[in-house]
Each structure stands twice: as structure tokens, then as C-alpha cells.
Amino acid sequence: MGLIEARERYPTDIGSTRLPLQTAMGIYVAPGHPLAAQGKVAWDELRSWRELRLSTFLASATEPAAGQVWSAPNYLLLLSMAAQGFGWCILPSALVAEFAPQGGLVALDIPGWPRAISVDLLWNKKAPPGAAGSWLRQHLQRRER
């Protein structure tokens, strides 16, 4: 089972359900990154800097990179790479609040960001979740927005 930004379609062997919650996503850099001191930043300006991007099995569904990109398999590694100054990345704001050291990341001031996204719960249809997975699915589906 996994949580992912909502999509319209998934591979046929992946089960999904839209959860009744949203999460805020922001664009972050290390405090020493030149973008951190810039104030307002235009989306197009990000192309001049290295993007740190989540690499998933649905990577082909994302928009193509416009500049230099490094990828990581999970958000915690992206958070660590951004905190070390390797580039900018889109992260769940709740993850940054919980796991980034105080002052370890700066949210960029970009029009339209942070943005709220819908979340889907996914599972493998060929190996459906057991009792604990079913409980988790029901619990998440009952949560209020």
C-alpha cells in the first residue's frame, strides 16, 4: 500500500481509492541556496537551478524536466538532498515541518505555491492488503478533510 498524489489513471494491476483529504505541497531549498534570499521567485527561474525530483513507478506520467534533474526514490531523501543545498524540490509541507531541522529548509515564494493536492491510496491487486491493510484503508477513507 502507498499514498500518492491523485492521478486519473493507474496501471490495471494497481487498485486505488481517492482519500477524503488533501495535503499541502511547497517548493523548498536550503537556507544558503541563492534562491532562498531572492524573495519572490518565478516558476521559469527554477529552470536555471537543479531540480530534485521524486522518482516513482509513475515517473513517465510527470512533466518532462526543463533543466538539470537529480532524482530520489522517496521524499525523505529529497528532503535531505535539499537541506544539503543540492537544489530545489517539491515536498509535502507536513513532512518538512516534522522532519526538517529548524531552519533547515526555506519555502520559496512562488505564485500558486504552496498548493493543495488530493491523495490516492494504492495497492497491488495481485496481492491485496491483509487485515491490517484493510483496516488502514477504511480508517483513511473515514478521515475528514
- Domain extents in the chain: 24-114
Q: Which of these CATH numbers, 3.40.190.290, 3.90.700.10, 3.40.50.450, 3.40.5.50, describes 24-114?
A: 3.40.190.290
pLDDT mean for each 10 residues of the chain (145 residues): 91 94 95 95 95 75 71 95 97 95 94 96 94 92 70
Among positive and negative, which fits the CA dihedral 39, 107, 122, 144?
Answer: negative
Model confidence pTM above 0.85: no
